[in-house]
Amino acid sequence: MPVFPKPKILLLLAFLLVLSLTACASPRSATWAGVYATEEVAYLSNGAHLFAIDLKSGTERWRYPEKATAALQFYAPPLLTSDGQLIIGSAGSDNALLSLDAQSGQERWASPFRGAKDHWIASPMEHQGVIYAPNADGHLYLLDLNGNLLSEKEMDKHLWATPVADEHYIYLAGLDHHLYAFDPQTRQVVWKADLKGSIPSRPSLANGLILSGSFASRLYAFEIPGGQARWEAQTTGWIWGSPLVLGENVYVGDLAAQIYAFRLNDGQLLWQKSVNGPVVAGPVAFGENIIFLSESGDLYAFDAQGNLRWQRKLGGALYTPPAVTSQVLLVVPMQAQEALIALDAQGNILWTFTPK
């Protein structure tokens, strides 16, 4: 029985408070992952490392950095530039944008670009020799291929989505609910459209349209380059991933575990199916199949008419879009032992990669 318990208990509480707050301290503690692939190598962003993985054997070629640090955390896959650089931003503590040699994994720039005020969630994009890098601080940074800042443009708020480009403009989506058309010549926003909800993934371009879903549970189509609204279609839940345009159709999934096919020209619903969990990643085309992933760890292959060709339970949580080569589908499960799973067109696992 303590004689005068209060101060001791307060000290104990303070100690517990330190433990509790530091245990759940970092708002960035829950990581994200991404993959990009050529026909020979997969580049996997996974926590504190970027891995280069041989596509034939599934073995590690190199990793960057050798030793993990809190300063570097990679959420998005790298951009492979026309001159063989991998450009990748860090969501770690130093907000660095780095250039690595795609062959060796050695740093290419004299020093990383550290001009951004927040972390890098999106992959950058290269267009006509310029790197367009959107940052969570709400700025689009333009750099040359040597890492020199050319200019920066401030949007309303956080930018988490990779831009896309056509011969006219750079198109950029923001969590601030807007889809922007940015003129690379004047470096000004030409038009912007309010999509009534956040847009965390890149828009898709096809047949004179730009398409994007948003947290307003709608899929929008705008004409390009002018930005006139063509159609919008209602979904059940928030749309997180990028829509996939294939032929005359556009495919998308939502967080209410629904997947949809709409007619590209007018947005008419063609078919809708339920899957086992929320669909965060956008679908991809792999051979004749349209591949959907759900958070439940399920992988689905549909044909264009909405017939299920095969389904495979991979485990973990599938949040980020897979990479596709002519032979291999690369899936990044999170909260799973494997960091990368390679499958063939029939959904058979070819190999798995687990970092050592």
Binding mask 114-143 for another protein (x = CB under 8 A): ----xx-x--------------x-------
Using rule CB under 8 A, residue 196 touches another protein: yes
Which residue, 147 or 253, has its beta carbon nearer to another protein? Answer: 253
Using rule CB under 8 A, residue 234 touches another protein: no
Query: Which of 143, 121, 122 has its CA nearest to residue 187?
Result: 143
In the complex, minimum distance from the CB of residue 92 to another protein, in angstroms, rounded to a whole number: 12
Using rule CB under 8 A, residue 21 touches another protein: yes
The per-residue b/e assignment along 153-186, b for 16 or more CB within 10 angstroms, e otherwise, is: bebeebbbbbbbbeeebbbbbbbbbbbbbbeeee
**DSSP per residue over 6-44, as a string?**
HHHHHHHHHHHHHHHHHHT--TT-S--EEEEE-SSEEEE
In the complex, minimum distance from the CB of residue 127 to another protein, in angstroms, rounded to a whole number: 24
Question: By CB neighbour count within 10 A (0-12 exposed, 13-18 middle, 19+ buried), where does 117 fall?
Answer: exposed
Using rule CB under 8 A, residue 260 touches another protein: no
Query: Which of 217, 219, 200 has its CA nearest to residue 209?
Result: 219
Using rule CB under 8 A, residue 6 touches another protein: yes
Q: How many residues bind another protein (CB under 8 A)?
A: 48
Using rule CB under 8 A, residue 71 touches another protein: no
In the complex, minimum distance from the CB of residue 199 to another protein, in angstroms, rounded to a whole number: 11
- Is 310 within 8 Å of 347 (Cβ atoms)? yes
In the complex, minimum distance from the CB of residue 7 to another protein, in angstroms, rounded to a whole number: 3
Radius of gyration of the chain (CA): 22
Using rule CB under 8 A, residue 176 touches another protein: yes
Using rule CB under 8 A, residue 158 touches another protein: yes
Distance CA 221, CA 271 (A): 18
Residue 275 tokens read as 């899957």
Using rule CB under 8 A, residue 5 touches another protein: yes
Interface ranges with another protein (CB under 8 A): 1, 3-11, 13-14, 16-18, 20-21, 24-25, 27-28, 30-32, 75, 91, 118-119, 121, 136, 157-158, 160, 175-176, 196-198, 200, 214-217, 238, 240, 255, 280, 319
